[in-house]
A and B are shown apart, each in its own frame.
Chain A
Amino acid sequence: MRWMASAAGAVLIAAACATSPARAQDATPAAPAPATPSSPPLAAKPAAPIPPEQTFKIGVVRQMPVPPPWIAPLQMPPDDLGIAGAELGIRDNLTSGRFLKLDYKLTPEIVPTDGDPLPAVQKLVEAGNNFILLDVPAEQLVKIADAFKDSGVIFVNVGAADDRLRQKDCRANVFHVAPSRAMLADALAQFLVTKRWRNWFLMVGRTDADKLYAEAVRRSAKKFGGKIVAEKEWDYGPDARATAQSEVPRGTQVGEYDILIVADELGEFGDILPYNTWLARPIAGTQGLMPLSWHPTMENWGASQLQSRFFKQSKRLMQPLDFQMWEGVFAIGSASLKTRSSDPAKVKAQMLAPDYDLPVFKGVAASFRGWDHQLRQPILLTHATNTVTLSPQAGFLHQSSPLDTLGFDRPESACTFQ
Chain B
Amino acid sequence: MKRPFMLSVGMATLAGLMLADALPAEAGPRAFVSNERDHTMSVVDMDTLKVIETIKTGRRPRGIIASPDGKLIYLCASDDNRVEVYDAATLKLVKTLRSGPDPELFVLHPSGNPLYIANEDDNMVTVVNVENNDLIVEIPVGVEPEGMGISPDGKFMVNTSETTNMAHVVDTATNEIIENILVDSRPRIAEFSKDGKQLWISAEVGGTVAVVDPATWKIIKKISFKIPGVTDDAIQPVGVRITKDGSKAFVALGPANRVAVIDAKTLEVEKYLLVGQRVWQLGFTPDEKFLVTTNGNSNDISIIDVAEEKVTKSVTVGRAPWGVVVVP
Contact = CB atoms under 8 A, between A and B. Distances in A.
Interface of A: 16, 19-23, 26, 33-36, 38-47, 92, 95-96, 99-100, 302, 305, 308-309, 312, 334, 337-338, 357-359, 363-365, 401-403
Contact of B205 (A44, A100, A308, A364): A364
Contacts of A312: 121
A359 B233 CA distance: 12
A401 B232 CA distance: 9
Contacts of A96: 142-143, 161, 163-166
Contacts of B206: 357, 365
B144 A302 contact: yes
B263 interface: no
Contact of A41 (B163, B176, B233): B176
B122 A99 contact: no
B36 to A, nearest CB: 11
A16 B185 contact: no
A402 B100 contact: no
A364 B207 CA distance: 10
Interface of B: 79-81, 98, 100-102, 119-123, 137-140, 142-144, 161-166, 168, 174-182, 184-186, 204-206, 217-218, 231, 233-234, 255
A301 B80 CA distance: 20
B231 A47 contact: no
Given A96-B161, A365-B206, A401-B233, 20 more contacts: A20-B102, A22-B100, A33-B123, A35-B140, A36-B138, A36-B140, A39-B137, A39-B140, A40-B175, A96-B163, A96-B166, A99-B166, A309-B143, A357-B185, A359-B185, A359-B204, A363-B233, A363-B255, A365-B205, A402-B231
B123 A95 contact: yes
Nearest to A96: B164
A17 to B, nearest CB: 9
B163 to A, nearest CB: 6
A42 B119 CA distance: 18
18 contacts: A20-B101, A20-B102, A21-B101, A22-B119, A22-B122, A36-B137, A40-B174, A43-B180, A44-B176, A95-B143, A96-B165, A99-B164, A99-B180, A302-B162, A337-B182, A359-B163, A359-B186, A365-B233
Contacts of B137: 36, 38-39
Nearest to B182: A337
A305 B140 contact: no
B166 A39 contact: no
Contact of B163 (A46, A92, A100, A363): A92
Given A100-B180, A309-B121, A40 B139 contact: yes
A38 B174 CA distance: 11
A103 to B, nearest CB: 15
B219 to A, nearest CB: 10
Nearest to A95: B143
B101 A22 contact: yes
Tell which of B161, B178, B185, B217 has the most Cβ of chain A within 10 Å: B185
Contact of B81 (A21, A34, A47): A21
A42 B175 CA distance: 11
B116 to A, nearest CB: 14
Contacts of A42: 140, 177
Nearest to B174: A40
Contacts of B121: 20, 305, 308-309, 312
A360 to B, nearest CB: 9
A99 B177 contact: yes
Contacts of A338: 182
B233 A305 contact: no
Contacts of A40: 139, 174-177
Contacts of B231: 402
Contacts of A357: 184-185, 205-206
B142 A95 contact: yes
A99 B143 CA distance: 11
A99 B179 CA distance: 9
A417 B144 CA distance: 37
Contacts of A403: 233
A47 B177 contact: no
Tell which of B121, B137, B138 has the most Cβ of chain A within 10 Å: B121
Contacts of B217: 47
8 tightest CB-CB pairs across the interface, nearest first? A40-B176, A96-B164, A364-B233, A359-B205, A99-B180, A359-B185, A365-B205, A20-B101
Nearest to A401: B233
Given A22-B100, A36-B138, A96-B142, A305 B180 contact: no
Contacts of B81: 19-21
A121 to B, nearest CB: 29
A345 B182 CA distance: 22
A363 B236 CA distance: 9
A42 B164 CA distance: 15
A337 B165 contact: yes
Contacts of A34: 140
